[in-house]
Amino acid sequence: SFDSQLKQFNDAKVDGVFVPGYYPDIPNMTKQARRLPVTDAAGKPITFLGGDGWDSQVTLSGGKDVEGCY
């Protein structure tokens, strides 16, 4: 579960988070973030950023939860 980290991001009202993780974790993390929800100072969902470890159809299996991620 990523809840404790996501709550810290929410409390800090960050605009985005770089996640140097790999594709199996990304759909789960973004789903939890959207469920909480984790928002920036303007109340918009935070943006998740990643690297080449996200390059997989598994990442896209997150559907709407991964929309707006880079």
Q: 10-63 pLDDT, tens per residue? A: 999 999 999 999 999 999 999 999 999 999 999 999 999 999 999 999 999 999
Cα separations in angstroms, 57 against 8, 22, 61, 62: 29, 12, 6, 9
Contact by Cβ (8 Å): 37, 68: no
CB-count burial class (<10 Å; 0-12, 13-18, 19+) for 18: exposed
Q: Tell me the C-alpha distance between 48 and 68, whole Å.
A: 8
CA distance 29 to 14: 16
pLDDT at position 1: 82
Which pLDDT value is given to residue 62?
Answer: 94
